[in-house]
Amino acid sequence: MGKKGEETKKRIRQKALSLFARKGFKSVTMKDICIETGLSRGGLYRYYESTHQIFSEIMDVLMNAQDDELAAKMEKEVPAPAILDEILGRYEKEMLDGSGSLSIAILEFYSEKQSDGRSDDGGKDGGGDSKLFRQYICSKSMWDNFISYGVKRGEFKNIDREEIIDLILFSYQGVRMFSTIMPIDKQIPRRIISHIKKALLV
Amino acid sequence: MGKKGEETKKRIRQKALSLFARKGFKSVTMKDICIETGLSRGGLYRYYESTHQIFSEIMDVLMNAQDDELAAKMEKEVPAPAILDEILGRYEKEMLDGSGSLSIAILEFYSEKQSDGRSDDGGKDGGGDSKLFRQYICSKSMWDNFISYGVKRGEFKNIDREEIIDLILFSYQGVRMFSTIMPIDKQIPRRIISHIKKALLV
DNA sequence: TATTTTTGCGACACTTGTGTCGTTAATTTG
DNA sequence: CAAATTAACGACACAAGTGTCGCAAAAATA
């Protein structure tokens, strides 16, 4: 694979991503991606065999972009409530604007992998769900660390951590999901966040 | 349409429902439904023109099966905590077993309607999302009534109602969604429910 | 039970997407 | 700048789904 080829692959992933965000996973065909990228069938198939493969590679790239920032802030002794505000602010934004629009594609992608038994990803990927599950575990431990930090500083209540973490993670996912298919009132994310803050802050 | 015809339609809806629950919305074809029902192409098309139409009718039937029960209980002056336990118990069950498996199909169905502009349901249905939205409003007012009832009886705290309701509804949806594609630990629904109870009960 | 209406079949023509292959055009490399 | 390698094209054969239509069998009706 030469230099030109790498660029083309990248272009394919970018264009495909915008398609997945708009139409979900199952509705995007290799033909769509041909049209979007301007490549011919033969041209596209040189790089990717299926939409599965493309989506999977996109996910790998997206997932490796997290929490170093948070760790850095805790290092610097930034007050926990300030960090909380920032994280929740970002969540609020993601719940409202369409940036959650990949959610549906992700759901479709992994649900498809489960429903039919074929796992034809060459054994490289240990099952579709495990990747998602890993991400859940990862977010969870991030929150756990962060809440401990807040409690140690006397800024957060010492409540059952797992309870509030699950609530945060799943309500966030729930809203994100529905925001892509239903008009979501701005008050909804705001109320959820307000509840979380009250539950955490002393 | 004769008596036989009505029975056939019902059979089609039943078989199609099981397909949608297993494979989501987009992956089910008219051909699949032919096979599942044992009908021929011509036979099936006599009753339904598309999977859209079938799914839409199924939704209509499913949505009109709610909260009369709850109203009856409030009438009978059943203690609010007992009612709460029952509702949340049902939620817990739905989060765990695969009975949330229609969630993905619902999401796919409505997201498809949004992404492409064609609204070919003959004007009878005022847009895909409004139906979902109506359901959200409906669940919301049900909870609102119920919490008022509990507060009046001095059994629930008088907290911000909208806040807790959004949290309940969306975390529930979030878990349901993910439970269909990821192994969900039994503790997760339990923790979410425990948090809700603590927030509500005096 | 004769007649009409409803139900159901399956072949047919059409559309859309898949995956391959020989060939040409463009890059890289020595 | 010539040779070798890589990238891209687009026709082709195939697979899967759609929607229709004429016709026969089965129900309903009178």
Determine the pLDDT at residue A10. Answer: 96
As ranges, strand C nucleotides with an atom below 7 A of a protein CB are 6-12, 16-22, 27-29
As ranges, strand D nucleotides with an atom below 7 A of a protein CB are 6-12, 16-22, 27-29
CA atoms in the 13 A half-sphere facing the CB of B33? 32
Domains of chain A, by residue range, sit at 59-200
Quick one: fold of A59-200?
Tetracycline Repressor; domain 2 (1.10.357)
Give me the CA B62–C1' C7 separation in Å, rounded.
Answer: 27
Mutate to test the interface with A, among B109, B160, B178 (most CBs of A within 10 A): B178
Each residue of A135-188: pLDDT tens digit? 888 889 999 999 999 999 999 999 999 999 999 999 999 999 888 888 889 999
Mean pLDDT of chain B: 88
Determine the pLDDT at residue B118. Answer: 43
Determine the pLDDT at residue A111. Answer: 86
Mutate to test the interface with B, among A182, A190, A196 (most CBs of B within 10 A): A182
Rounded distance, CA A107 to CA B106, Å?
12
Q: Sign of dihedral through CA atoms B138, B144, B150, B156?
A: positive
Mean pLDDT of chain A: 88
Each residue of B37-67: pLDDT tens digit? 999 999 999 999 999 999 999 988 877 666 6
Out of A115, A136, A194, whose CB is closest to B22?
A115
41-100 in chain A: CB under 8 A from chain B = none
Rounded distance, CA A199 to CA A157, Å?
8
Determine the pLDDT at residue B39. Answer: 97
Determine the pLDDT at residue B65. Answer: 61
Helix B30-37 crosses helix B3-23 at what angle (to 10 degrees)?
120
Give me the CA B31–C1' D16 separation in Å, rounded.
Answer: 10
Rounded mean pLDDT of B125-150? 82
Tell me the three-class secondary structure of B146-180, residue by residue.
Answer: HHHHHHHCCCECCCCHHHHHHHHHHHHHHHHHHHC
Give me the CA B75–C1' C6 separation in Å, rounded.
Answer: 48
Interface contact B129, partner A, CB < 8 A? yes
B144 vs A115, higher pLDDT: B144
Closest residue by Cα to the C1' atom of nucleotide D20?
B42
> What is the least distance, in Å, from the CA of B22 to any CA of chain A?
7
Determine the pLDDT at residue B183. Answer: 84
CA atoms in the 13 A half-sphere facing the CB of A66? 14
Determine the pLDDT at residue A138. Answer: 87
Its pTM stands at 0.87
Nucleotide nearest to A5 (CA to C1'): D7
Contact B127, B109 (CB under 8 A): no
